[in-house]
Amino acid sequence: MNNNWDTSCDVVVVGSGAAGLTGAITAAHQGLDVLVVEKLAGWGGTTAYSGGGMWIPDNYLMAEDGARDSFQEALQYLEAIIEDVGPASSRARKEAYLRRGPEMVELLRDLGMKWSRVALYPDYYPFVPGAKTGRIIEAEVFNARKLGDLKDSVIDAPLPPMAFGTGDAALLPIATRTWKAFRRLMGIMGRTIGWHLTGKIPFPLGKALVGNMMHVLQSNFNVPIWLETPLKDLVMEDSRVVGVVVEQQGEIKRIQANRAVLLAAGGFAKNDSYRRKFQPVGEEWSSAPPGDEGDAIRIAGKIGAALAMMEQAWWGASMEINGEISFSVYERSLPGSMIVDQTGQRFANESTSYVDLGEEILRREAETGKAVPSWMVFDARYRKRYLFGMLPPGYTPQKLVEDGSLIKADSLDDLARQTGMDGVTLKETIGQLNSYARHGIDKDFRRGDGIYDRFYSDPTVKPNPNLAPLEKAPFWAVRVYPGDLGTKGGLLTDEYARVLREDNSVIEGLYASGNSTASVMGGTYPGPGASIGPAATFSYIGMRHAAGEPAAEQPGEPG
């Protein structure tokens, strides 16, 4: 070993979310010596904060369920919805993702990963040719005790220790409205109590995914994880990356990487100055975890890596309640609510995908300067019926009204006064929406027309489960901001996850995946789990390539 190195291995993986852990598992499975370094004191990354799903078309669980899907249909769908953003969303990268995603899932299954399929969750653009329902898979709820001491160092993600998954997400908000939803809630409560009584610790959603992956990694390969070890630099020899410089407990260490460095360290959602350089908003409304500051992107950029799509994020609507940012998925879609700008006008389908709604808020702000914040408005019937964030139906602590998190008003005129909206415009907007609700057709934005809209809805409301009149006082309003789940621009990579220079030449020895890279999804979001799916898949592809798999054997080779 070179005397300048403090230690040596075949592969250094930077980051410990789904992208990093999948890369570490794949490299270790190929017989390589692997080390994972993580900037934070907790492992799991942005994935641990997420719903934990992966959008993997034509996966083995679909085949087992008799659900027909194919590479061709999935490619047709992606080609239709993803605009041309350059090499990041090239045909070769789309094909590589679609062909090898199912392989990645099966490798993890064979090594002990427990998968389940969310059969009723539709793609986000159900009217587009090639769209399907049930392409999302997720890890089963994981017993964290299997991790031993590692369970205590997972990142402190804001997920309750309950035994539930993504398939429960659409029913929990309406648990007081249908027997099916109520039984699902009781089942979750029963399972959760059973887990705790038997000494198990349930990790749900994103924590289930990284928990399962970490268990696969340690039980099969015993790969070391260095926490509180931020990346400081990349080491190059003859234009090839041969190692990394990290800091550990105040000490600088040089780690040789004989085969590859995989950058899977997340995006730059929490780097306010970086965001304001490239994006219309800063970090204040992001739901990404702390530490998501773009270190890997910045450091790779210093050695000539190309950057792309830096203006993009996994956008959505966020609400600030009691000083905490909450990413809205289901609240905005349920009947008896609407989103309006500061004048009191609607401007989007509230039930559309979160990326599209986030982009609509940004577009409205750019056009009018009156959409940040916007307002989600709902009435007493809505508040009585539905879960709101983590607030049970009908329960609204007075302190949330007193601190201004929620606006409560006895009349629409009072609501307009408290929010600064024009009272006449607000009442006209509500009157129009109420008319649409009674007839079942939103003539302005087609809310409730598609099966994705109706995934988060109340089936007891007729004729449109996403629309109900707003007419019962008190009326409520909450501020809505253009938030995100993380950024989706960064290092430009090819179909083998190799980092590219501006001239499209390859930086040998350097691979990247996940939010550290410009997404294959371009500026859109085809379905649930479309951020984590490619993150894990390109880590798998990259580490297979680094292990010596010839490029010609990897599907997705450009024609």
487 touches 393 (CB < 8 A) = no
Query: What does DSSP say about strands 202-203 and 225-226: parallel, antiparallel, or unpaired?
Result: unpaired
Residues ≥6 apart with Cβ < 8 Å to 84: 522
The per-residue pLDDT for 1 is 43
The per-residue pLDDT for 555 is 46
The per-residue pLDDT for 506 is 98
Quick one: tokens of 129? 């040719």
Neighbour count for residue 547 (Cβ, 10 Å): 18
SS3 (DSSP) at 419: helix
Query: What angle, rounded to 10 degrees, do the helices at 18-29 and 205-221 form?
Result: 20
| pLDDT tens for each residue of the chain, 559 residues long | 456 999 999 999 999 999 999 999 999 999 999 999 999 999 999 999 999 999 999 999 999 999 999 999 999 999 999 998 999 999 999 999 999 999 999 999 999 999 999 999 999 999 999 999 999 999 999 999 999 999 999 999 988 889 999 989 889 999 999 999 999 999 999 999 999 999 999 999 999 999 999 999 999 999 999 999 999 999 999 999 999 999 999 999 999 999 999 999 999 999 999 999 999 999 999 999 999 999 999 999 999 999 999 999 999 999 988 888 999 999 999 999 999 999 999 999 999 999 999 999 999 999 999 999 999 999 999 999 999 998 999 999 999 999 999 999 999 999 999 999 999 999 999 999 999 999 999 999 999 999 999 999 999 999 999 999 999 999 999 999 999 999 999 999 999 999 999 999 999 999 999 999 999 999 999 999 999 999 999 999 999 999 998 654 444 433 3
The dihedral region occupied by 15, where left means phi > 0, alpha psi between -120 and 50, and beta the remainder, is left
Distances (CA, A) of 533 to 21, 112, 530: 13, 18, 5
SS3 (DSSP) at 142: strand
**What is the SS3 assignment for 330-348?**
CHHHCCCEEEECCCCCECC
150 touches 218 (CB < 8 A) = yes
SS3 (DSSP) at 254: strand
The per-residue pLDDT for 556 is 43
**What is the SS3 assignment for 359-385?**
HHHHHHHHHHCCCCCEEEEECHHHHHH
In whole angstroms, give the CA distance from residue 533 to residue 248.
31
CB contact burial 323-360 (16+ within 10 A = b; e otherwise): eeebbbbbbbbbbbbbbbbbebbbbbbbbbbbbbbbbb
Reported pTM: 0.96
Instruction: Supply the DSSP string of 82-105, one letter for each residue.
Output: ----SGGG-HHHHHHHHHHHHHHH
Quick one: tokens of 502? 């501006």
Residue written as token pair 């329902």? 133
Phi then psi for residue 517, to 5 deg, are -120, 165
* Amino acid at position 314, single letter: W
93 touches 492 (CB < 8 A) = no
**Closest to 113 in 3D by CA, of 196, 257, 212:** 212
In whole angstroms, give the CA distance from residue 106 to residue 113.
9
Distances (CA, A) of 43 to 14, 211, 226, 229: 11, 10, 9, 11
451 touches 126 (CB < 8 A) = yes
Q: Which helix (H) or strand (E) holds 416?
A: helix 412-419
pLDDT digits (tens, 9 = 90+) for 441-489: 999 999 999 999 999 999 999 999 999 999 999 999 999 999 999 999 9
**Closest to 56 in 3D by CA, of 528, 533, 497:** 533
The dihedral region occupied by 446, where left means phi > 0, alpha psi between -120 and 50, and beta the remainder, is left
Q: Omega into 469 within 30° of 0, i.e. cis?
A: no
Distances (CA, A) of 294 to 269, 299, 323, 486, 487: 8, 9, 25, 11, 9
The per-residue pLDDT for 160 is 87
